[in-house]
Amino acid sequence: MKVVDYMKIAMVIINYNDYNTTKRLIDNIKDYKCLSKIVIVDNNSTDNSYIKLKNIKNDKIDIIKNSKSRNYSSGLNLGAKYIVEKIGECNIIFSNSDIIIDKEEDLIKLSDDTKKHNIGVVGPVVIEHGTLNRGWKMPKATDEILFNLPFVSRYFKRKILQYTESHYQEDLSIVGVVSGCFFLVNSKLLNEVNYFDENTFLYYEENILAKKVEATNYQIAVDNDVKIIHDHSVSIDHSVKRINKYKILKESQKYFVKNYLNANKFNLFLLFITNKLSLIILYIRCFIRRKV
């Protein structure tokens, strides 16, 4: 591949009890010349993932262990700060382990996007379960309450968060939030917003980062010409039961609404009620499935 002049690109991959999926991604990208450094953060796995991962370490690939926490954002911060210390200012790609990348040029294109329109965060079009995830609008506190309503939450999410098809006609589309499964951030911006908020265990990292970016001069975009595949929830579903995963999601939602959406006491009360209602419905559904 022809060598071009671009900012250094590095990648942070978070692993938790999922060596095989992480190894698949590493095999996908290990020969990409555009990547100056690949850092795999083992997020305190309870299996032998970390031991296996150490066997693939080389001059480009580093393995570090987040031994203090399984908090997802702390793993992202650990990897990002490690990279900046090693190679200096760069563009950092944050990736789930369950990602499939088509070609190296896509990573270079995402990095080049940061030279345009003061873009500090950029994501690709994410293909998951046959659908296209191209980012979404930033919700309000009242929107998050509606998202908790059983049976109609999906309708409200589509209606409130999705842009129209015409929004994606250009090469780049400015959006409120990009998918947290795979996105690129300029390290200078990360430092400006004080990295990721570590007060959520899992979920809402992308929304929280986007709210932080709103207070800067940077923009968030989706590159409509770059596509990646998200083999969705492989790593999470292996280790977290459905109800527990839902509880974690709702705890993160509560933190986001309270601390980043300026929710008043009435909003927080309604959020609490709808959270409990949606959880009861989930318990009932799980009970019925066990009986069938």
Say yes or no to pLDDT of 8 above 80.
Answer: yes
How many other C-beta atoms can be found within 10 angstroms of the C-beta atom of residue 45?
21
Find the mean pLDDT for residues 24-42.
96
Domains along the sequence of the chain with CATH: 9-291 (3.90.550.10)
Rounded average pLDDT over 207-226: 97
Tokens of 181: 């499964």
Distance CA 214, CA 203 (A): 19
C-alpha dihedral sign at 154, 157, 160, 165:
negative
What is d(CA 77, CA 208) in angstroms, rounded to the nearest whole number? 14
**Res 235 pLDDT > 90:** no
Residues 6 or more apart whose Cβ sits within 8 Å of residue 55: none
Q: Is residue 134 very low, low, confident or very high in pLDDT (cuts 50, 70, 90)? A: very high
Task: Give residue 239's pLDDT.
Answer: 45
Whether residue 292 is predicted with pLDDT greater than 60 in this model: the reply is: no
Cα separation, 177 vs 220, whole angstroms = 7
Q: Indicate whether 3 pLDDT > 70.
A: no
11 pLDDT band, cuts 50/70/90, is: very high
pLDDT attached to residue 233: 59
- Tell me which residue has tokens 């991962």: 53
Distance between CA atoms of residues 111 and 119, nearest Å: 10
Token look-up 């083999």 returns 231
Average pLDDT score, the chain: 92
